[in-house]
Amino acid sequence: MKAREANFDGLVGPTHNYSGLSFGNVASEKNQANQSNPKQAAKQGLAKMKALADMGLVQGILAPQERPDVHTLRRLGFMGSDANVIEQAAKQAPKVLAACCSASSMWTANAATVSPSADTADGKVHFTPANLTNKFHRSIEHETTGRILQAIFADKKHFAHHPALPAVEHFGDEGAANHTRFCHQYDEQGVEFFVYGRHAFDSRYSAPKKYPARHTFEACKAVARLHQLNGDKVVIAQQNPDVIDQGVFHNDVIAVGNKNVLFCHEQAFLNQQDVYNELTAKVGGNFKVIEVPTSAVTIEDAVTSYLFNSQLLEMPNGETVLALPEECRNNERVWAHVQTIINAKQGIDKVQIFDLKQSMANGGGPACLRLRVVLNEQELQAVNQSTLMNDILFNRLNSWVDSHYRDTITDADLADPQLVVESRAALDELTQILDLGSVYAFQR
């Protein structure tokens, strides 16, 4: 049965702000305490979703999470009314409050790892929400993420949902940001490519020295087991620790793949040639690597432009489009190399530029904002149809953003108890629009 790749983008939540929460993510650290614009952020994301839907692709929406996360603040000992909880946290632990206000669930490449039914032994699509243990503000996402995924992919005949891996550093899991699926046709069994930053149980292996390696080898193995993948169709590779130390905090900051194409930097992986060889052997003969040399694009260029945090999209007419953030056009070397790649006709036919500045300033490009789910026709029918983008939903969500979102958020605004009231009102309406049931109820 024919299958297609659907992209589920995270809708930016009403508390989008810059709190410098992600050590190792250069943009997050650099933009700390800058004023954010949640309304613009949400609209930039919606415009990308609409553009992909207009290209004839399946585009879904993942709802934001409830922030400030009063439920977590209560777990940390803040008491009283919701307003009291916020006020106390603002006074005693402003950084903890900021973490509990982050709209970071927008980067749905980190929501989960997804294996299509063609790859799994039981023929179901498998989902494992990522525990995101390395960053406190992200470690509080997976429970709600799981509920949202189950509200969208509800049919047990087609979809299998696992809880997140044990939430400790040994099993640090960042989801699809470190996972790529290669195949010839989407409906055929593919090769699932997992990338990790370090080994948790074996100190003989190298690891970054300056910045954290968020994802472990052991997490990759566990997800491959849970998803019942065939070992002959799995490749597990280590990210180059030196580039993690230069700000490449996820593999999707230095590599992206689709079907039989891997587009990556020459310094992306440890033992890079071995990785190519294993992928070539397992994917099959026409596996193609479009490798970018340091002489053309430095690691710093890659980190600031997010050239590789792009979406490699197969159009209905068979062409491949590379969806890039505007920052790539603003970097002369990167932009020149993009032209070289297109002219070389190596497997990328066109580029499409998106303005995602609000998300980029926190280190989130086009690829961070989307979770890929390959679905056959029956599975696509079984998806909650209210979450699929179309003209009507696009207009409805834009008006929803207009009526609920602020134009600015600064550090000081996070202490405003009114923010939780506004955010809840917005999400209550959104659960109706997207038909999500009571995904936030357990937090109230």
Residues engaged in binding ligand SUG (CB under 6 A): 18-22, 25, 28, 102, 104, 107, 109-110, 135, 138, 177, 250, 252-253, 362-364, 368
Residue 25 is labelled as binding a ligand:
yes
Q: Which is nearer to ligand SUG, 18 or 354 (CB)?
A: 18
Q: Does the active-site annotation cover 174?
A: yes
Q: Is the CB of residue 189 less than 8 Å from the CB of residue 183? A: yes
Q: Which is nearer to ligand SUG, 36 or 150 (CB)?
A: 36
Residue 20 is labelled as binding a ligand:
yes
Token code pair at residue 74:
């209560």
Token code pair at residue 300:
């710093």
Query: At closest approach, how far in Å is the CB of 21 from ligand SUG?
Result: 4
Q: Which is nearer to ligand SUG, 62 or 380 (CB)?
A: 62
Residue 22 is labelled as binding a ligand:
yes
Query: At closest approach, how far in Å is the CB of 102 from ligand SUG?
Result: 5
Q: Does the active-site annotation cover 29?
A: no
Query: At closest approach, how far in Å is the CB of 363 from ligand SUG?
Result: 4
Residue 286 is labelled as binding a ligand:
no
Q: How far apart are the first and last CA of the chain?
A: 42
Query: At closest approach, how far in Å is the CB of 258 from ligand SUG?
Result: 16
Q: Does the active-site annotation cover 71?
A: no
Catalytic residue among 66, 141, 174, 192: 174
Query: At closest approach, how far in Å is the CB of 309 from ligand SUG?
Result: 6
Q: Which is nearer to ligand SUG, 16 or 50 (CB)?
A: 16
Query: At closest approach, how far in Å is the CB of 389 from ligand SUG?
Result: 20
Catalytic residue among 158, 215, 368, 379: 368
Catalytic residue among 16, 142, 250, 337: 250
Q: Which is nearer to ligand SUG, 151 or 360 (CB)?
A: 360
Residue 161 is labelled as binding a ligand:
no
In whole angstroms, give the CA distance from residue 112 to residue 195: 14
Q: Which is nearer to ligand SUG, 65 or 117 (CB)?
A: 65
Distant-in-sequence, close-in-space partners of 262: CB < 8 Å, separation ≥ 6: 180, 182, 255, 256, 276, 279, 287, 288, 289, 290
Residue 34 is labelled as binding a ligand:
no
Residue 214 is labelled as binding a ligand:
yes
Residues with a catalytic annotation lie at 174, 250, 368
* Binding site as annotated, residues for substrate: 19-28, 110, 137-138, 214, 252, 362
* Binding site as annotated, residues: 19-28, 110, 137-138, 214, 252, 362
